[in-house]
Amino acid sequence: TNRTLTILKPDCVRKNHVGDVIAHIQKAGFKIVAMKMTRLTAATAGGFYEVHKERPFYGELCAFMSSGPCVPMILEKENAVADFRKLIGATDPAEAAEGTIRKLYADSKGENIIHGSDSDENAAIESAYFFAKSEEVANLA
Ligand code: GTP
Ligand code: MG
């Protein structure tokens, strides 16, 4: 098994879709290893999305990600990173496949409800950004 890092973004919390999205994720076979509700500052959101800092939407992205509480989680499953990206669907919900989380719940490319790590290496870096090792559940019974 391996792990991925997800964030239920502020639009997910605002629209009260947290429970539905977590149920969707669990039904797809992902185990929750760590979870919290937190609010990012513009600076911590900026650090998280540092790779996009030259992109025209960076300011908008940081403002959105710090606009309210979000729910980061570490998830575990075989082939977690790729399977989770498939479960959430394309970045733009208009292009996301039927039945994906973004197709079902997201409104736009900017407000697309959920994040998923894009590599094992980034999953580890992003997990450490939100969670201390002591916050990860040791035994997923
Ligand atoms: P994440 O899982 O959030 O990393 O999304 P992604 O990997 O599908 O997309 P990418 O890493 O390319 O972009 C990161 C995030 O930036 C997206 O999820 C969007 O929230 C935001 N974003 C991407 N493109 C645009 C855009 O054209 N406009 C705006 N406002 N936001 C964008
Ligand atoms: Mg990305």
ipTM of the complex as predicted? 0.94
Q: Whose CA is nearest to atom 1 of ligand 1?
A: 115
List active site positions: 115
Nearest-angstrom CA–CA distance, 13 and 80: 23
In a domain, 51, yes or no: no
Please give the pLDDT value at position 14.
Answer: 98
As to burial, measured by CB atoms within 10 angstroms (0-12 exposed, 13-18 middle, 19+ buried), residue 49 is: middle
Please give the pLDDT value at position 1.
Answer: 72
Range of the structural domain that residue 92 is part of: 2-39+70-131
In a domain, 84, yes or no: yes
In a domain, 121, yes or no: yes
In a domain, 141, yes or no: no
Which ligand sits closest to the CA of 100? 1
Give the global pTM. 0.96
Q: What is the DSSP letter of 70?
A: B
Q: Which amino acid is at 32?
A: I
Q: Is the CB of 115 under 6 A from ligand 1?
A: yes
Q: How many CB atoms lie within 10 A of CB 118?
A: 15
Please give the pLDDT value at position 139.
Answer: 78
Q: Whose CA is nearest to atom 3 of ligand 1?
A: 115
Say if residue 84 carries a ligand binding annotation. no
Q: Is the CB of 55 under 6 A from ligand 1?
A: no
Q: In CATH, what number is assigned to the domain containing residue 122?
A: 3.30.70.141
Per-residue pLDDT of the chain (141 residues; tens, 9 = 90+): 799 999 999 999 999 999 999 999 999 999 999 999 999 999 999 999 999 999 999 999 999 999 999 999 999 999 999 999 999 999 999 999 999 999 999 999 999 999 999 999 999 999 999 999 999 998 776
Q: Whose CA is nearest to atom 8 of ligand 1?
A: 91
Instruction: Check if the beta carbon of residue 6 is closer than 8 Å to that of residue 84.
Output: yes
Please give the pLDDT value at position 140.
Answer: 76
State in Å: Cα 68 to ligand 1 middle: 17
In a domain, 16, yes or no: yes
Say if residue 41 carries a ligand binding annotation. no
Q: Where are the alpha helices (DSSP H) in the chain?
A: 10-14, 18-27, 42-48, 58-65, 80-88, 101-105, 120-130
- Six token digits for residue 60: 């908008």
In a domain, 7, yes or no: yes
In a domain, 92, yes or no: yes
State in Å: Cα 117 to ligand 2 middle: 6
Nearest-angstrom CA–CA distance, 18 and 69: 11
Q: Is the CB of 69 under 6 A from ligand 1?
A: no
Q: How many CB atoms lie within 10 A of CB 107?
A: 13
Number of domains forming the structure of the chain: 1
Largest CA distance in the chain: 44
In a domain, 54, yes or no: no
